[in-house]
C-alpha cells in the first residue's frame, strides 16, 4: 500500500469514528481501512472521549483487535439493533453499490450492514469505479463440498470463477465460517448488480456473494488534495 493510500484510508477512518456517539452499538467492519477505524475507536474509548460503545464484529480480525483494544463486544444474536456500521469496500459504483469480500469476510459484513440503521463505507479514491467488476473480482463464498458444482453454475451465468488460494498456507483460503471463496469475473463487468446478487445467492451451495446493493447510506472517500488527505462525502438519494 502506498503512503498516500494509507493517508487516505486514515482520513476516512478518523472521519467515520467521529460519527460514533456514546452508548451506540457499532458494526465493526473488516480490512485495512476498517482496522484503522477500530484502532481509532479503541483509542477514543481508552481516554474516555467515547463511552459505553459496544461493537459487533464482522470477522475474527475484528474480534482479535477488539480484544487487544478493550472494545466490548456483543454478538448479532444478542442485540436488537445496530446504530451504525462502518466498513471498507473493494469497489463503489455511482449508485453506491459495492463489491466487498477482498478479505473473505462478506458473509458477516452483509449481515451487519443490513441490520444497521446507518451503514457508512470508508474507502480511498482508488475504489471508485464506473462499473463493478471490471477490475476487482467478485467474491462468492461456497460450501467446500460444492465449489466445483457452483463454479459450473457461475459459468452458465457468464462468470469465470477461480478458487481463492491462500498465501502462507497450502491450498485454498478458508473463511471464518469454514467455507471456500470463488472469485468471479463477468466479461464487461456487472450490468445489473441487484439482479446478479439474487441470481448468485439462488445457486445451491452459495452462502453469500460480495455484491452489496442499496445498503450504503454514505461513502466517505479519501482523496489527496494539494498533497493533503481530505474526505469527500457521497450519499445515497
* Per-residue cell: 88: 471498507
Distance CA(11)–CA(137), nearest Å, equals: 26
* One residue of 27, 55, 102, 222 binding ligand 5RP per CB under 6 A: 102
Q: How many Cα atoms are found within 13 Å in the side-chain-facing hemisphere of 81?
A: 7
Contact stretch for ligand 5RP (CB under 6 A) within 15-23, 44-52, 85-93, 166-174: 85-93
Total residues at interface with ligand 5RP (CB under 6 A): 18
Q: Is residue 197 annotated as part of the catalytic site, yes or no?
A: no
- Quick check: 110 binds ligand 5RP (CB under 6 A)? no
Name the strands in the sheet holding 91-92, side by side, starting at the edge strand that comes first in the sequence. 91-92, 98-99, 211-212
Instruction: Give Cβ neighbours of residue 91 (< 8 Å, ≥ 6 apart).
Output: 98, 99, 127, 129, 132, 133, 135, 136
* One residue of 55, 62, 101, 222 binding ligand 5RP per CB under 6 A: 101
Contact stretch for ligand 5RP (CB under 6 A) within 42-50, 101-109, 154-162, 200-208: 101-109
By CB atoms closer than 10 A (0-12, 13-18, 19+), residue 192 is exposed
Distance CA(115)–CA(186), nearest Å, equals: 29
Distance CA(171)–CA(165), nearest Å, equals: 6
* One residue of 10, 100, 151, 164 binding ligand 5RP per CB under 6 A: 100
- Quick check: 189 binds ligand 5RP (CB under 6 A)? no
Distance CA(8)–CA(32), nearest Å, equals: 12
For the bound state, the minimum distance from the C-beta of residue 211 to ligand 5RP, rounded and expressed in Å, comes to 11
Positions in 22-41 near ligand 5RP (CB under 6 A):
29-34
Residue (of 161, 160, 163) closest to 172 by Cα position: 163
Catalytic residue among 91, 109, 141, 197: 109
* One residue of 89, 132, 137, 161 binding ligand 5RP per CB under 6 A: 89
- Quick check: 97 binds ligand 5RP (CB under 6 A)? no
For the bound state, the minimum distance from the C-beta of residue 9 to ligand 5RP, rounded and expressed in Å, comes to 6
> Where does this chain bind ligand 5RP (CB under 6 A)?
29-34, 87-90, 100-106, 109
Q: Which residues are catalytic?
A: 109
Amino acid at each position: 500500500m502506498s503512503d498516500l493510500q494509507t493517508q487516505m484510508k486514515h482520513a476516512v477512518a478518523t472521519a467515520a469514528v467521529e460519527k460514533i456517539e456514546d452508548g451506540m452499538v457499532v458494526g465493526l467492519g473488516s480490512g485495512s481501512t476498517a482496522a484503522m477505524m477500530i484502532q481509532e475507536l479503541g483509542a477514543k474509548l481508552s481516554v474516555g472521549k467515547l463511552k459505553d460503545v459496544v461493537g459487533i464484529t464482522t470477522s475474527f480480525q475484528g474480534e482479535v483487535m477488539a480484544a487487544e483494544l478493550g472494545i466490548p463486544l456483543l454478538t448479532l444474536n444478542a442485540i436488537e439493533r445496530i446504530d451504525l456500521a462502518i466498513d471498507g469496500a473493494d469497489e463503489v459504483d455511482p449508485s453506491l453499490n459495492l463489491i466487498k469480500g477482498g478479505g473473505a469476510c462478506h458473509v458477516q459484513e452483509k449481515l451487519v450492514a443490513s441490520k444497521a440503521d446507518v451503514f457508512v463505507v470508508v474507502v480511498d479514491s482508488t475504489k471508485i469505479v464506473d462499473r463493478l467488476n471490471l477490475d476487482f473480482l467478485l467474491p462468492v463464498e461456497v460450501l467446500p463440498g460444492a465449489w466445483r458444482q457452483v463454479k459450473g453454475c457461475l459459468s452458465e451465468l457468464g462468470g469465470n470463477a477461480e478458487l481463492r488460494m491462500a498465501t502462507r498456507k497450502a491450498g485454498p483460503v478458508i473463511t471464518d465460517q469454514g467455507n471456500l471463496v470463488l472469485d468471479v469475473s463477468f466479461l464487461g463487468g456487472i450490468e445489473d448488480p441487484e439482479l446478479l446478487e439474487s441470481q448468485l445467492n439462488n445457486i445451491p451451495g452459495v452462502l453469500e456473494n460480495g455484491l452489496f446493493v442499496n445498503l450504503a447510506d454514505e461513502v466517505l472517500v479519501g482523496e489527496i488534495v494539494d498533497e493533503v488527505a481530505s474526505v469527500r462525502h457521497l450519499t445515497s438519494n
